[in-house]
Chain A
Amino acid sequence: MSDAIVDIRGLRKVYTGKVPVTAVDGIDLQVRPGELYGLLGPNGAGKTTTISIATTRAVPTAGDARIAGVDVVKHPAIARRAMGVVPQYNTLDRSCTVAENIRFHCLYFGMSGVEARRRTAELLEQFRLHDRASAYPQQLSGGLAQRLQIARAIAHHPRVLFLDEPSAGLDPQSRIAMWDAVRALRAEDITVVLTTHYMEEADALCDRVAIIDHGRILVEDTPSALKASVGGDKLYDLRLGETADRARLAEQLRELTGVTGVEPTESGLRVLAQTREGLLPQVITTANTYGLRDVTTAEPTLETVFIRLTGRDLRE
């Protein structure tokens, strides 16, 4: 037995049809209690399918998934008590008001009428929804609807909250408000598993991130460790003329103290380096004689990690 609260082993999902599609291809995933865990990957990587299986809405082709020790395939109805789910799309009850959405959710999960009312008032306050308590979901902005979905999902005190692409379709301001709401869940000891294809989101929110592509986990670590794996604190992208001798330049650059790596890019070279006073001018001076056109500096992001692993952009 592992002490992981989300324990997924050897998970596979093949959608049968004329052309069978392997959405999840052998995923192992262990999330510790209290962690904020992110699945980062492009659309179609298998993130949503993995979450769907963990939340009992899809049946795996192979492998198993346990939430708080309960097998989700064998005992879905019991496993659902331990989890809160916010799917990608808005599933709020359109016939009920904001407050009723939460209150009935509490009743479904076995609270008494009094308890349900108390919990509803508490959540409306916590998620700053009390002034919209009697509005209907159709009247809420995307950001408010998303907050209500999170409030409702945790109303029954689940051990794990699953958020599937929580910031899809949100404006930047609502996204930051949503991040705050998710961070605040730590105080309640709720483990959070989220999927996203925004690397900033995974970086800003998660304790650990798994980068997933084509139904497989490519790497899994803390965001800072993943970024450190790139091999430098700074990235200098050099745009060079067509005729430049890039191989020779790369060799010269590698000899500079502080440069940890040089990689070819489409338009020139990328220099990976440690933060070091005076290194950038040196790089520029060296590259200048090779027809340097432009230089951009950046710090490694999770996107850099993804590109290095797959050769593709997250948005492709």
Chain B
Amino acid sequence: MSEDSDVAIAVAAREVKAAGRRASYTRAFLGLMLRDLFVLRREVGPFLVRVGMNPLLFLFVFTYVMPHMSGGAALNPTANMAAAGGGSFGTVLLPGLMAVAIMFSGIAAVALPLAQEFGITREIDDRVMCPLPIGAVAIEKIVFSAMQSIVAAAIVFPLAYYVPSTPVSAHVSSWPFLIAVLVLASLLSGALGLTIGTSVQPKQIGLVFGVVVVPITFLGCVYYPWAALGHLKWLQYGVLVNPIVYISEGLRAALTPTMGHMPDWMILVLLTFFLALLTWLGLRGFRRRVVS
């Protein structure tokens, strides 16, 4: 009997300890989030410029300036395709630009600051001394970046509504699907940023734009739907290794379903797969960089 109660007390003590530990981790995690929000709030202007400029100019040039040029359609090769698919080029661009905004936020919110923290300031050493597992410090970066990605994607909406000369036809058929795609895509871009930020030498971070960001954007079905690559089979299958493809196609399926897009289930499965893969790579890289 007394042995039983001893065991019970030991188990209870362990549970209390575990609960205390979880509470302590949670507070540290929230503290980090709070600090990041606080700093972002102070830099809200630059943040809006950063996330708004690319979609604004893209929409302005391709959906406002070009259609006003004589022979604009000839200059704009996807216009015919978009028309055939039942929408304007703006309709093609809306999900694509949201995908770019989401992806780019991951780079700007995780990869670039990490390069600085690892290389010049070593501020990361202080974060790593927080009372929570090192992996959680990296996860916080992913989560916070995802929040910025969602804001960045949301900013594309009003722009796509007001800028183009012909209206964009967007229609949400399934909100749960849209939310699932947005959340997975945003976390995925944060994980991508973590992987890049931890695998590239700080002094080479400038190269990331040329070597990673530009290729994955242009080959990420951002400016054209994946189905439209049908005549270039090698490319159509080649781009499947690019996670941005599933972000673009996912948003296309959720927002502009009249355009041809990949099957919904395939999009969700592959977004999840790439999220898991990049999170794993990013966490491994992060641990290697901060613990010797």
Residues of chain A whose beta carbon lies under 8 Å from any beta carbon of chain B: 15, 52, 55-59, 76-78, 80-81, 85, 87, 89-96, 100, 104, 107-110
Is B133 within 8 A of A77, CB to CB?
A: yes
Nearest-Cβ distance from residue A273 to partner chain B, whole angstroms: 47
Give the residues in chain A near B124, CB-CB below 8 Å.
Answer: 91
- In whole angstroms, what is the CA distance A57 to B289 when docked? 10
List of A residues within 8 angstroms of B31 by Cβ: 104, 107-110
Q: Are A57 and B290 also in contact (CB < 8 A) when A91-B121, A91-B125 are?
A: yes
> CB-defined interface of B1-43 with A at 8 Å, one 1/0 digit per residue?
0000000000000000000010111011011101100110010
CA distance A91 to B122 in the complex (A): 6
Tell me the B39-70 residues at the A interface (CB within 8 Å).
Answer: 39, 42
Please measure, in the bound complex, the distance between the C-alpha atom of A89 and the C-alpha atom of B117, giving whole angstroms: 12
Question: Is the C-beta of B134 less than 8 angstroms from some C-beta in chain A?
Answer: yes
Return A312 CB to nearest CB of chain B, in Å. Answer: 27
In the complex, the answer to whether A109 meets B123 with C-beta atoms within 8 Å is no
Interface residues of B (CB under 8 A from A): 21, 23-25, 27-28, 30-32, 34-35, 38-39, 42, 121-126, 128-134, 290-292
* Assembly CA distance A94 to B116 (angstroms): 11
A108 & B134 in contact (Cβ 8 Å cutoff) = no
Known: A78-B21, A96-B39. A108 touches B122 (CB 8 A): no
* Contacts A58-B291, A77-B133 given; does A110 touch B35 at CB 8 Å: no
Do B121 and A94 have beta carbons less than 8 Å apart? yes
Chain B residues within an 8 Å CB radius of A59? 291-292
- Complex contact B28–A110 (CB within 8 A): yes
Main secondary structure of the interface of A (DSSP, over half): loop
Interface of B is mostly: helix
User: Chain B residues with Cβ under 8 A from A80's Cβ?
Assistant: 129-131
* Closest Cβ–Cβ distance, residue A57 to chain B (whole Å): 6
Once bound together, how far apart are the Cα atoms of A93 and B36, in whole Å?
11
Contact call B130/A108, Cβ cutoff below 8 A:
yes
Q: List 26 A-B contacts (CB under 8 A).
A: A55-B129, A56-B291, A57-B128, A57-B290, A77-B21, A77-B25, A77-B132, A77-B133, A80-B129, A81-B131, A91-B123, A91-B124, A92-B126, A93-B35, A95-B39, A95-B42, A104-B31, A104-B35, A107-B30, A107-B34, A108-B27, A108-B28, A108-B35, A109-B130, A110-B24, A110-B27
Known: A57-B128, A91-B121, A95-B39. 6 other contacts (CB 8 A): A56-B129, A77-B132, A77-B133, A81-B24, A91-B122, A93-B123
Chain A residues with Cβ below 8 Å from B38 are 96, 100, 104
Closest Cβ neighbor of B128 among chain A residues = A57
Q: Which one of A85, A96, A109 lies within 8 Å of B35 (CB-CB)? A: A96
Q: Please, how many angstroms separate the alpha-carbon atoms of A92 and B290 in the complex? A: 16
